[in-house]
Structure 1
Amino acid sequence: MADAVFCEVDDQARVGEASTADILLQGQLDTVKEASVLERKKAEKMKENVNH
C-alpha cells in the first residue's frame, strides 16, 4: 500500500518537473524571439544612418 502511494507522489513530482522545464524552455524561446526583434531593429537603424 505504501509503495503505491509513493509511486503516485513520485509521478506527480515528475509531472511538476516536466512542466517547470517546459515553462523555462518557453521563457528562453520568448527571450530569444525578443532579442532577434531588437537585433533587427538595431540593424534597420544602422542602415538608415548609413543611408542618410
Structure 2
Amino acid sequence: MLGFAAAVLFAIAFIINATATSVDALFAPTSLMLLGLALLALHVAGVGTGWAARGRRR
C-alpha cells in the first residue's frame, strides 16, 4: 500500500515539474519526491504489509 502511495506522489511531482506549475513550498516537486522516497523506503522495510512475527499458534 505504501508503494502505491509513493507511486502516486511521484506521478504528482512529475506532473507539477513537467508543467512548470507555480505551487507552494509544501507541494513543490522536490518535497513530494522526498515524501515519496520516504514512503518507498518504509514499503521496502516491510512497514504496513500486515505481516508480523507473533510466535507459534496452537
Shorter-chain TM-score bucket reads 0.3 to 0.5
More RCO (CA 8 Å, sep 6+) = 2
Q: Which has the larger radius of gyration?
A: 1
TM-score by length of structure 1 reads: 0.36
Q: Whose helix fraction is larger, Structure 1's or Structure 2's?
A: 1
